[in-house]
Amino acid sequence: MAAEDMPGSGGGLGVNRREFLASCVGGVAGAYVSGVKTLLAADQPAAAASATGPAGDGKCRIRLVFTHLGPKTPTWPNIGYDYEGRKKELTEKLRQACPDVDFIPVTVNSAAEAKKIVEADGPVTTQPATQAATKSATQATQPGAQIDAYLVYIVGIWTGAPWVLVTSGRPTILANDLYAGCGEFLVANAGAKRKGLRVAGVSSSRFEDVVDAVRCVECVKKLRSSAILVVGANPGKRGKDVEEVFGTKVIPITFEQLDEAYKKADRAEAAKWAERWTKEAEKVVEPSKEDVENGGAMYLAMSDLLRQHKAQGITINCLGGFYGGKMKAYPCMGFFQFNNDGGVGACEADVRCTISMLVMTYLTDRPGYISDPVIDTSKNQIIYAHCVASNKVFGPKGASNPYHIRSHSEDRKGAVVRSLMPLGEMTTTVLFDPGKKQTILHQAKTVANIDEDKACRTKLAAEVVGDIDKLLGEWDQWGWHRVTVYGDLRRQVEHFSALAGFSVLKEA
């Protein structure tokens, strides 16, 4: 059993934090093409961006398949229904809501027509976007172009087409136009779930729920052209699993490479970051000015490595590196800034948490908070504890919450953030494991920021939704770490998991 799999392990690679202390057939309309959204803009006062957006053209191509019988047929929604008007309305709404997606509409009236579409679209590819041949927007409108997913909108029943499409092997969103597609949606969606197909079903009067499912397809696409850096540890099997399942590059970086970048960091620029962090904090408790400036230099060093490798996230064997004298400063302040700005900075060379944070950032534009949870059954609470946390939990454009600058808890050195995160909010906690092809999930409502000197600096207490005793049951199989994101994001997580081919384990 690897150290990160053992009970009590933080879930990272190459170092167990506790042990170390001891030693993803109709007419065809033209594709809508828009500019590609960048993941991150440079932030002031530094010109150094903390990460880059995904490589490649970034466009997600979704075949929008409307299924219905002819308007003269008496069926749901009703005889004489204006199918053309409804399809036009839905297409326009999707293009407005998802400007970075090329929707390629087509109508099918039968299973035979659906089969022709599937055959024309060809085999499904999981080839990373950086290696795939780039096709023009005109090519993308034609059958045979690479289609990332199907969005099957059932606007009338019964054609038999949805089942052909959900069983095509291509990731598929199955959308029910309420009071029009219900019966066929229910049958096809249930059958797809029973077979474990890569299908996300949406049956909702809230149009944004369809949009959220489309973002899951975008996420799968972005992951194939993304990269994460793992510093000071061998990514091992977990790195290979991430590359094979998500197509995300996992790039090992040595402590020596990080140290070289640290030595080259502009100290005047580092001081500016330290001044900003200090000014914006409610208070600085233990760290000296030098400690915070060293954190600024480490931030610039990590930013340089991210730029060099066109990566979107970084995780470091921080405890091993700092305790072993291979790092001159903790990366915590830099991680804080990355996560605030829409990038990913993850602790302890934990590859699973890093990819989980990247997935959630792509899905929600909100940062993940990696933690070592504490369980208090007497209060039905889980306390998410760690020395790295964002103070912009609703994303780069959201409100900021107060924070303190403290020393790293376990050795009382360096500079870290204690974030006083918003209360009365639902959170969703996840971990995606590409090796198991499973997602673990629980939810909790925030109730307190615990002020306790023991253990990690940020301690966010939340009341568990579900059975807290059940929540005690999976830690030996998954390790200690979890990733928490603000919001009721259960459906997004379930949709992404289904489209990625993962099962979901609800641990509470």
Q: Are strands 313-316 and 344-346 parallel, antiparallel or unpaired?
A: parallel
What pLDDT sits at residue 229? 98
Tokens for 175? Answer: 């959308």
93-98's contacts with Cβ under 8 Å and 24+ in sequence apart are 93/207, 94/64, 94/151, 94/210, 94/211, 94/214, 95/32, 97/207, 97/208, 97/211, 97/214, 98/211, 98/214, 98/215, 98/218
What pLDDT sits at residue 12? 41
List pLDDT tens digits, range 336-395.
Answer: 999 999 999 999 999 999 999 999 999 999 999 999 999 999 999 999 999 999 999 999
The DSSP secondary structure of 64-103, one letter per residue, reads: EEEE---TTS--SS-TT--HHHHHHHHHHHHHHH-TTEEE
| Higher-pLDDT residue of 55, 158 | 158
What pLDDT sits at residue 145? 52
Tokens for 427? Answer: 């959170």
List pLDDT tens digits, range 293-310.
Answer: 999 999 999 999 999 999
d(CA 229, CA 249): 8
What pLDDT sits at residue 7? 33
What pLDDT sits at residue 2? 35
Q: Tell which residue, 112, 187, 124, has the closest CA to residue 154.
A: 187
Q: Tell which residue, 52, 55, 41, has the closest CA to residue 397.
A: 41
What pLDDT sits at residue 38? 26
- Paired with 430 in beta bridges are 441, 483
The DSSP secondary structure of 116-167, one letter per residue, reads: HHHHHH-------TTTSPP--HHHHTSTTS---EEEEEE-SS--SHHHHHHT
Mean pLDDT of 464-472: 97
Q: Are strands 101-108 and 249-253 parallel, antiparallel or unpaired?
A: unpaired
List pLDDT tens digits, range 251-277.
Answer: 999 999 999 999 999 999 999 999 999
Domains and CATH numbers, the chain: 60-222 (3.40.50.2300), 226-506 (3.20.14)
Q: Tell which residue, 200, 180, 185, 178, has the closest CA to residue 62.
A: 200
Longest dimension (CA), the chain: 78
**Angle in degrees, 0-180, between the axes of helices 236-246 and 351-364, rounded to the nearest 10:** 30
List pLDDT tens digits, range 432-446.
Answer: 999 999 999 999 999
What percent of the chain is predicted at pLDDT more than 90?
84
What pLDDT sits at residue 124? 80
35, pLDDT greater than 60: no
DSSP 37: P
**Angle in degrees, 0-180, between the axes of helices 332-341 and 267-280, rounded to the nearest 10:** 70
Mean pLDDT of 402-423: 96
| Higher-pLDDT residue of 55, 157 | 157
User: 173 φ, ψ to 5°?
Assistant: -95, 125
What pLDDT sits at residue 147? 95
The DSSP secondary structure of 267-328, one letter per residue, reads: HHHHHHHHHHHHHHSSEE-S--HHHHHHHHHHHHHHHHHHHHTT-SEEEE-HHHHHHTTS-S
Tokens for 327? Answer: 């790092």
d(CA 24, CA 215): 10
List pLDDT tens digits, range 212-234.
Answer: 999 999 999 999 999 999 999 99
E strands, 319-457, are 344-346, 369-376, 381-386, 403-408, 413-419, 426-433, 438-449
28, pLDDT greater than 90: no
478, pLDDT greater than 80: yes
In the numeric block, the tokens 């136009």 are attached to 177
Q: Tell which residue, 362, 307, 387, has the closest CA to residue 50.
A: 307
What pLDDT sits at residue 256? 98
- Alpha carbon 492 to its chain's center: 10
Q: Is the CB of residue 443 less than 8 Å from the CB of residue 427?
A: yes
- Paired with 425 in beta bridges are none
Please, which residues have CB within 8 angstroms of residue 449's CB and are 6 or more apart in sequence? 420, 421, 423, 458, 459, 460, 461
List pLDDT tens digits, range 321-333.
Answer: 999 999 999 999 9
Tokens for 11? Answer: 């879930």
In the numeric block, the tokens 């107060």 are attached to 402
Q: Tell which residue, 352, 364, 410, has the closest CA to residue 390.
A: 364
Angstrom distances, CA of residue 323 to CA of 62, 301, 326, 478? 49, 19, 8, 26
4, pLDDT greater than 70: no
What pLDDT sits at residue 58? 62
Give residue 182's identity as a one-letter amino acid code.
C
User: 184 φ, ψ to 5°?
Assistant: -70, -35
Q: How many Cβ atoms are within 10 Å of 21's Cβ, its own excluded?
A: 11
What pLDDT sits at residue 134? 33
Half-sphere exposure of 499 (CA within 13 A, CB side): 33
Q: Is the CB of residue 354 less than 8 Å from the CB of residue 432?
A: no
Q: Is the CB of residue 7 less than 8 Å from the CB of residue 342?
A: no
Rounding to the nearest 10 degrees, give the CA dihedral for residues 464, 465, 466, 472: -30
Tokens for 496? Answer: 């992404």
Mean pLDDT of 173-192: 98
- Alpha carbon 103 to its chain's center: 22
Mean pLDDT of 408-428: 96
Mean pLDDT of 169-196: 97
Within 203-250, residue ranges assigned H as helices are: 207-223, 236-246
Please, which residues have CB within 8 angstroms of residue 87's CB and are 6 or more apart in sequence? 66, 105, 107, 153, 155
What pLDDT sits at residue 43? 34
List pLDDT tens digits, range 89-146.
Answer: 999 999 999 999 999 999 999 999 999 999 999 988 654 443 433 333 333 334 445 8
What pLDDT sits at residue 126? 54
503, pLDDT greater than 60: yes
Give residue 75's identity as a one-letter amino acid code.
T
320, pLDDT greater than 80: yes
- Alpha carbon 393 to its chain's center: 14
Average per-residue pLDDT for the chain: 88
